Chains A and B, each alone.
Chain A
Amino acid sequence: MEYVSPEGLRLDGRRPKEVRQLKCELAVLHRADGSAYLEMGNTKVLATVYGPHEVSQRSQSLHDRALVHCEYSMATFSTGERRRRPKGDRRSVELSLVIRQSMEAAILTHLLPRTQIDIYVQVLQADGGTRAACINAATLALADAGVPMRDLVASCAAGYLNGTPLLDLNYVEDSAGGPDLTVALLPKAEKVTLLQMDSKLPLDTFEAVLGLAMDGCKAIAAHMRQALLEHTRKQAVVRGPVRL
């Protein structure tokens, strides 16, 4: 199957180095301390953050830093075919762990000892790149909750099909069987907090694909920062001028 046309266009009309359309909304849910809704093309995820609050199981409390807890869930209607997903299957446990680890790299946990931060990510619609979308949504939700962070973590996937490195794969490209590389990045420090690749790839091509994914992360990070600034500005207007 042809994933890149001779004119250099992909199945959904993008060029190889284009990410899908991003849409971020902040503070979307009422009860959570922080929440964010993120669309990457047709992939739609919702993330909420509760905390920092008292550790619910006291034996898990950490005396020198915050306990970060993450749960990933997928709606029954999120995929093409309806599937009832049992809680805590292997895929979601692994994803919860991956999201938690890349968030822990960004959160200044040492400032919040003996507390717990809950991150819940809910996939509403899956069209490839859910891993990356979940991490991006979780970052925005943490920022909305005002949790201190080193930087915004941004994540993006890249692949290699028809001899071309492709940025931000959708579901059809993802299931083509080619390599799929997901990267999460702290863009300011240029530190990779997550790196996963399925399938195989020659070393020199790997570097090109990794470089592309990192560029994608930076572009997404810039967009998210913009969305956060706009949201903050809007809130500032609603609250009126600050008098000192």
Chain B
Amino acid sequence: MPGLSAAELSFLEGGIAQDLRNDGRGREDFRSFSIQLDVISQASGSARVRLGATDILASIKAELGSPPAEFPHLGRLELAVEISPTAGPEFEGRGGEELSAELGKALERSFAGGANGTGAAVDLAALSVVEGKTCWVLYADVLVLNADGNILDASAIGIKAALSNTRIPKVEVLAGEGDEEGELELNDDPDECARVSTAAVPLIVTLTKVGRHYIADATGDEEAQMSSALSVAVNEKGQLCGVTKRGSAGIDPSVISDMLSVARRIGKRLLAKVDAEISLAESRLESET
């Protein structure tokens, strides 16, 4: 991001203090966003999300793999974020590595749940195929194409949309003879696929602290001004699924609890909006085919 002048900075801060930001939003408002489903045909599910000028592509790929050693009855969910150099020259080569690691970890914290699978965004036990031997591994990959702030919240929206678009082939386990292991047979009929329940998938609301106030869905310019930020994952029931504090400045504990309840309130509204957008995108996809 090109640097802002001192006058621009004070204008931006002044706007936030008066609850009227540069693009006309209030402090708790999200930018308008659009969702497009099934954009990558080689993935099991995919979505493109445009949140203001932030543009991301989320893909879910289901592959057969081995379950975690301590919990043989579970499947796995692996999350990663990659920043494409198309988002700006500062992300070329290894430039995007630090940010992508930070965002990837934050997503993992909010979606992967505990080691035993409780609190995970999807039902990991449903991904098991042969206990202790084979399970589905869902690789959730986010690719950032254009960055204009709040990549993390956009990524969470993308993953939720891509999961709702995901189809996992049905697997039949053929009984093996004697001591031989049973063979797996994949059913490649596209109509005979399992869907992933996305009811428990949380969304992330990042509150960015600028000056004495905090704002939702910061743009790139506003993020350049942030002292610290709190990313809160909220699910349908209003439960907190993960919290990440970002940035270098400290936040007062009383402010944190205040921010958490605000994030919860915004999260509930956002969830309803995202669900509506996903069903809109689904109907658009159906009318196309």
Task: Indicate if A31 sits at the interface (CB-CB under 8 A).
Answer: yes
| A82-B82 CB under 8 A given contacts A71-B93, A120-B92 | no
C-alpha gap A78/B40 in the complex (Å) = 8
Q: Are A30 and B148 in contact (CB under 8 A)?
A: yes
Distance of A81 from chain B, by nearest CB (Å): 7
Minimal Cβ-Cβ distance residue in B for A46:
B86
**With the chains together, A78 CA to B41 CA distance in Å?**
9
Q: Are B86 and A48 closer than 8 Å at their CB atoms?
A: yes
Query: Cβ of B243: which chain A residues have Cβ within 8 Å of it?
Result: none
Check if A199 is an interface residue, CB within 8 A of chain B: no
18 more contacts with CB within 8 A, not counting A84-B80, A120-B85, are A30-B146, A31-B53, A31-B87, A32-B88, A44-B40, A56-B89, A75-B57, A75-B59, A75-B82, A77-B40, A77-B59, A78-B40, A80-B42, A82-B141, A88-B93, A120-B84, A122-B86, A124-B39
Distance A22 CA – B281 CA, assembled complex (angstroms) = 24
List the A side residues contacting B61 at CB < 8 Å.
77, 82
- Expressed in whole angstroms, the minimum distance between the Cβ of A29 and any Cβ of chain B is 5
* Chain A min CB distance to B111 (Å): 17
Q: Which residues of A sit under 8 angstroms from B218, Cβ to Cβ?
A: none
A122, B145: Cβ atoms closer than 8 Å: yes
Cβ B86 vs Cβ A75 within 8 A: no
Q: Say if the beta carbon of A50 comes within 8 Å of chain B.
A: yes
Cβ contact of A125, chosen from B41, B88, B139, B147, cutoff 8 A: B41
B146 touches A82 (CB 8 A): no
Question: Contacts A77-B59, A82-B61 hold; do A122 and B84 have CB atoms under 8 A apart?
Answer: yes
Separation of A75 and B41 alpha carbons in the complex (Å): 14
The residue from A44, A73, A82 contacting B84, defined by CB atoms under 8 A apart: A73
Q: Are B93 and A75 in contact (CB under 8 A)?
A: no
From B46, B82, B146, A76 is in contact (CB under 8 Å) with B82
A115 at the interface (CB under 8 A from B): no
23 contacts between A and B (CB under 8 A): A32-B88, A32-B146, A42-B41, A42-B42, A46-B84, A50-B89, A75-B82, A76-B82, A76-B139, A77-B139, A77-B141, A77-B143, A78-B40, A78-B42, A80-B42, A81-B63, A82-B61, A88-B93, A120-B86, A122-B145, A124-B39, A125-B41, A125-B42
Nearest residue, chain B, Cβ from A84: B80
